Amino acid sequence: MGHWSLVGTFVSILADQRSHIDTAWLWRYTQTHQKIARSWSTQCDLMDRFPNYRFAASSAQHYVWLKEFYPETFERVAKYVSQGRFAPVGGAWLEHDCMIPSGESFARQYLYGQRYFEDTFGTRCREAWLPDTFGYASQLPQILRLCGIDYFFTQKVSFKYSRTTDDSFPGITSTPFPTRHSIGAV
């Protein structure tokens, strides 16, 4: 085993914070609204205190609920989005399942999600963001490319170990689609 040392070496580490909020798991939608508001207002508080702090959150539906039920918090989020510190990610209406839905469902997820982010914040997402899905449809890379998505992010170990090790998701076209895995995913 080798030994290495960073003594005398300047190391720069960049880390963005993110949250994954289950829209409907073991709670009611009203609790989801509260989780979104609490999570994202906390992130805005951290941005108030730390000028280099960044945060990413997905799911257009969550932004819609935030604006509807917590408009003051939504305005804070929108301010930080305009500063490039709060990043809408994923491009989909919701973080979706990939095993049961059809290709048409995927296309609509990204059509409506990307449209919302563009209309609301003036930006489209370049990455698909599915940190908590339990399977991956082979047509997903092709659909994502057609939706203007350049990258795919996941954290499920099953994806990492069931696909190639070159950080790509070939899908049915065998065209490599850049994929990233969350560090520390279990």
Catalytic residue list: 132
What are the distances in angstroms from CA 37 to CA 49, 73, 75, 151, 163?
A: 18, 7, 12, 28, 36
For residue 32, count other CB atoms closer than 10 A to its CB. 18
Q: What is the DSSP string of 23-45?
A: SSSSS-HHHHHHHHHHHHHHHHH
Question: Strand ranges (DSSP E) for the chain?
Answer: 17-18, 55-58, 86-89, 127-129, 151-154, 179-181
Pairing of strands 179-181, 17-18: unpaired
DSSP H or E stretch at residue 149: none
What are the distances in angstroms from CA 177 to CA 159, 163, 185?
A: 13, 12, 20
Residue 10: helix, strand or coil by DSSP? Answer: coil
